Amino acid sequence: MKFGIMVNEGPYTHEASDTAYLFAKAALEKGHQIHRIFFYHDGVNNSTRLTEPPQDDRNIVARWSKLAAEHKIDLVVCVAAALRRGIRDENLAEGFRISGLGQLIESGIQADRLVVFGD
């Protein structure tokens, strides 16, 4: 099965980002595909390289970057939501790119299921 994933919450605000990451990882381990992961609303905060969690805490942004690199996953950040939060291309962590809502629509069309995490 091919999944599209949408993440609407920030990395340390709620559990949505952690849950989305774990879902994606488990789906890949079971042989499924991830078409794209789209970060929207506060979810765009998962993409900033300016995040510096304490050493004893998980680095959610680095997790997303590593997952994308290992599995060639397209990590797309909504341009409007990103700009509202001061996130620009130069602030993006490795593997993320900024684009528009058309990428979310395409993912919904191309994937068998679009799974949404967060409000």
Residues with active-site annotation: 78
Q: What is the pLDDT of residue 59?
A: 94
CA distances, 31 to each of 9, 24, 66, 95 (Å)? 26, 11, 18, 22
Integer Rg of the chain from CA: 13
DSSP-derived letter for residue 93 is P
Q: What is the pLDDT of residue 87?
A: 97
CA distances, 26 to each of 30, 37, 79, 119 (Å)? 6, 14, 28, 22
Q: What is the pLDDT of residue 84?
A: 97
* pLDDT tens, N- to C-terminus, the chain (119 residues): 999 999 999 999 889 999 999 999 999 999 999 999 999 999 999 999 998 888 889 999 999 999 999 999 999 999 999 999 999 999 999 999 999 999 999 999 999 999 999 98
Q: Which fold has domain 2-117?
A: Hypothetical Protein Ychn; Chain: A, (3.40.1260)
Rounded Cα distance between 101 and 85, Å, is: 16
Side-chain-facing half-sphere of 55: CA atoms under 13 Å: 0
For the entire predicted model, the pTM comes to 0.96
Q: What is the pLDDT of residue 22?
A: 98
Q: What is the pLDDT of residue 52?
A: 87
